[in-house]
Amino acid sequence: MVDVTPGSVGPIPPAEVAEMELYHPHSWWTKYVFSQDAKVIAIQYSCTALAIGLVALVLSWLMRLQLGFPGTFDFITPEAYYQFITMHGMIMVIYLLTALFLGGFGNYLIPLMVGARDMVFPYVNMLSYWIYLLAVLLLVAGFFAPGGPTGAGWTLYPPQAIMAGTPGGEDWGIIVMLSSLILFIIGFTMGGLNYVVTVLQGRTRGMTLMRMPLTVWGIFTATVMALLAFPALFVACVMMLLDRVLGTSFFMPAIVEMGEQLQHSGGSPILFQHLFWFFGHPEVYIVALPAFGIVSDLISTHARKNIFGYRMMVWAIVGIGALSFVVWAHHMYVSGMHPYFGFFFATTTLIIAIPTAIKVYNWVLTLWRGDIHLTIPMLFALGFIVTFVNGGLTGLFLGNVVVDVPLSDTMFVVAHFHMVMGVAPIMVIFGAIYHWYPKVTGRMLNHAMGMFHFWVTFVGAYLIFFPMHYLGLMGVPRRYNELSDMGLIGESAHHLNAFISIMAFIVGFAQLVFLFNLIWSIRHGKEAGGNPWRATTLEWQTAHTPPTHGNFGKELPIVYRWAYDYSVPGAKEDFIPQNEPGSFGPSREPA
Amino acid sequence: MAVVLVLVLVVVGSVVFHLVSPWWWTPIASNWNYIDNTIIITFWITGVVFAAVVLFMAYCVYRFRHKEGQKAHYEPENKRLEWWLTVITGFGVAAMLVPGLFVWHRFVTVPTDATEVEVLGQQWQWSFRLPGKDGKLGLAETSLVTSDNPLGLKTDDPNGQDDVIVQAADLHLPIGKPVKMLLRSIDVLHDFYVPEFRAKMDMIPGSVTYFWFTPTRTGTFEVLCAELCGQGHPFMRGVVMVDTEEDYTAWLGQQQTFAQLTPPQQTSSVEPASH
Ligand code: HEM
Ligand SMILES: [Cu+2]
């Protein structure tokens, strides 16, 4: 047991090393474009991620047009449909969610929340963004390449990914996609090292690990995981690129394609799947853990109550992070791997449900006897819990190997992962943007537009993805651009598909309102002041809002307490900032 | 208040949808009703948890939403409660996992009396092969595939001569007899999936994968490809007919064997494909 008492006011160690000198920008270019300030880099990352995310959103409309009203839109050919799916999935998972949580929120929040002036390696941090931008531009270039982008599905399974029957397989599409991923990983590694080292090395005096806000714990653990998981994808991409360009046979066995013997032999398609999912499963948590951390802080702040069971929450984050490296093959139950793997991976997968459930309990128990302010961040946090619990529970179907057999590769899977890693983390992203926008810009986002955005997104997304599970239960496979005369479904399933599509357009429209709000409020939003939510963490205690380069004025803050001193009995206010000395400890020791 | 109402509606609506909507699994046609039972157990447990968590949340919002002068309770942690919840969750998880693993054990243990049937997937059609009188399938390999020998059988393997070849046509199976489906592909990944049988498995070029089941009712069932295999994927359909014993024998009598299909050739089997 660690003898940290949440809420206790501990002794402060003396400063041991001198402060690091910051790079001073000399021109407009180095201040706003090639900036080394983590906050500027964060905004660059976020804007780029949101822009490319908008492309993925438009692609989802096109797919839904096809699925809801098959045969109506001639330009959505089967090739085009597969290209849309692939780009949509890849962009959403990697170029939007990963980049936004780690590059965006990570850059902005880590230094501010741990009381550092900047990331530890600002120059490398800057490079990280520019390489990411290059990766995104290359990805977009795929749309203009001869033959268009790849249509191999976001999982890029060989052999089909590099064969003629798949769009982009024998053209440029797959080459562009693999190259872009390789660049992304290089860029991410540069940023990722920064986030990890800054958390380990850059904390201000008094900021012990067990006093860090859960946001930082979530992003930190996710980054460590990403640094360990991305190399597997990197290797897989390089080998597949060689198979495609030089004709090697890492993943390619002997193949007869349309009556023609190919030159490959001896490669293993299933090896690619292991590499892909060794990355791909942790990736789910790379997106989820930052969301877990952030939502904990949103709930605590807006319910004016300490997060319930902080230590358990930290251990759950770390435990989930570690366990998530030994569950990858639950994506491969019907891949043809050795059937006995099923016993192992089903067991590990279901065990991971336990720390995950603890997190959920602790969020809802934080609401218990709280002082719940139904602000927009709080609403999104509630929306997150509903969608996350729903998606997490359907994960228990798919994780339980034999139950997965009928359901895998059906729309049930699509519904499950959209709920758990699409909608749920995005709810947190929205909540977080409403929460921190005032710090970034000095102004509040418009409330009325925010309410509209929340209600349409939450209710709409639930209506899209909840019924979709039942299509999968019937047996409708995923990645079918039309069901045409499929015997097992009736007319009613087509109506359901049309309904889902219409909801998708409505939800999509609400996102445009949100984007408008982001831009409109920069000038017209209500003045926020330094700490509009009356929060305890360090980013709200800066001398300036938005914080200037170097984050904190002359003196770095010194931390005296954990991040969750809300509604401490006897205190004047219902929150005590982390950098406030004084003797208000907890009213009682944890039982 | 709107929030409380919507949260309650989410629970009530989901349950009602589950119970009354017309969308549910297809009537089963194999012995894998064990799988359906495991799904039902999982629906019950997860359904109860979902309702409990969301309703608890709704209650909290209703009861503890901000009012003038209200102050939150200060309680950093409660070890006992946390341990209790962990233990209960552990039991819930075990209640799903244990039956699941038992059924999985059954799923991967092929009965010794199962008949072998080979399914061969290629972009974008299905072919099948049944053992002849000797009850054995001959060896086959992707590298031997030619237009005369579309399944790539080894021509000098005596076991293969009487194999029944069903190329790009419907497969028939007799009711009540366990079958082991041997799955093979000559180009990309495919997946042999018949929703009514509840079972599916990927097919990998270069390997032979399998699953087994016993057909339990006669009828015509649609085969769907369930692993993305290029742009023809959604149109890669096939048909399996489960017949009574007599119908099956009649059908089998009309099929051709490998020897009947292959023009006699004295020389080598690597003759180039003629188009
Ligand atoms: C309202 C928002 C969204 C809609 C309407 C939507 C719609 C779709 C549709 C129709 C498919 C294709 C399903 C199929 O035929 O197999 C799909 C696939 C996918 N989506 Fe979304 N999506 C949305 C948001 C997201 C988000 C936020 C994520 C982030 C995780 C995401 C990740 C994916 C992935 C990974 C795939 C799989 C692609 C593949 O099969 O290769 N989507 N989505
Ligand atoms: Cu296929």
User: How many A from CA of A160 to the centre of ligand 2?
Assistant: 10
Residue A566 lies in a domain: no
Residues 175-194 of A with CB under 8 A from B: none
Q: Closest residue (by CA) to atom 25 of ligand 1?
A: A422
User: How many A from CA of A415 to the centre of ligand 1?
Assistant: 9
Residue A576 lies in a domain: no
Domain with A275, as residue range(s), is 35-252+267-540
State mean pLDDT over A33-49: 95
pLDDT at A587: 37
Query: Are the Cβ atoms of B49 and A389 closer than 8 angstroms?
Result: yes
Residue A233 lies in a domain: yes
User: How many A from CA of A269 to the centre of ligand 2?
Assistant: 15
Residue A558 lies in a domain: no
pLDDT at A26: 79
Residues 290-319 of A with CB under 8 A from B: 303-306, 308-312
Which residues partner with B126 through β-bridges?
Answer: B121
Query: Are the Cβ atoms of B196 and A305 closer than 8 angstroms?
Result: no
Assess A472–B contact: CB distance below 8 Å, yes or no.
no
B112 to chain A, minimum CA–CA distance in Å? 17
Q: How large a percentage of chain A has pLDDT more than 70?
A: 95
Which two three-digit tokens encode residue A330? 């639950």
In three-state secondary structure terms, A274 is helix
Assess B236–A contact: CB distance below 8 Å, yes or no.
no
The CATH architecture to which B115-261 belongs is Sandwich (2.60)
Which two three-digit tokens encode residue A147? 């033959």
DSSP class of residue A448?
H
Backbone phi, psi, residue A134, to 5°: -60, -45
Which residue from A531, A520, A342, A354 is spatially nearest to A447, judged by alpha carbons? A520
Distant-in-sequence, close-in-space partners of A289: CB < 8 Å, separation ≥ 6: A218, A219, A221, A222, A225, A317, A320, A321
Which two three-digit tokens encode residue B216? 């339990």
| pLDDT bucket at A138, cuts 50 / 70 / 90 | very high
Q: Is the pLDDT of residue A43 over 80?
A: yes
Residue A95 lies in a domain: yes
Q: Where are the domains of chain B?
A: 2-64+84-108, 115-261
State mean pLDDT over A352-357: 94
Look up the ipTM and state it: 0.93
What digits encode the pLDDT tens for the residues A392-428?
Answer: 999 999 999 999 999 999 999 999 999 999 999 999 9
Q: Closest residue (by CA) to atom 26 of ligand 1?
A: A422
Q: What is the CATH number of the domain that holds A40?
A: 1.20.210.10
**Number of structural domains chain A divides into:** 1
pLDDT at A9: 58
pLDDT at B19: 95
- The rounded distance, in Å, linking the Cα atoms of A276 and A256 is 25
User: How many A from CA of A141 to the centre of ligand 2?
Assistant: 29
Q: How much is the mean pLDDT over chain B? A: 91
Distant-in-sequence, close-in-space partners of B136: CB < 8 Å, separation ≥ 6: B159
Residue A355 lies in a domain: yes
State mean pLDDT over B246-258: 93
| pLDDT bucket at B275, cuts 50 / 70 / 90 | very low
| pLDDT bucket at A591, cuts 50 / 70 / 90 | very low
pLDDT at B191: 97
pLDDT at A328: 95
Q: How large a percentage of chain A has pLDDT more than 90?
A: 87
- Is residue A589 within 8 A of residue A39, CB to CB? The reply is no
Assess B206–A contact: CB distance below 8 Å, yes or no.
yes
pLDDT at B273: 45
Assess B24–A contact: CB distance below 8 Å, yes or no.
yes
Assess B85–A contact: CB distance below 8 Å, yes or no.
yes
pTM (2 decimals)?
0.94
Q: How many CB atoms sit inside 10 A of residue A497's CB? A: 24
Query: How many residue pairs from chains A and B have C-beta atoms closer than 8 A?
Result: 336
Contacts of A561 in chain B (CB under 8 A): none
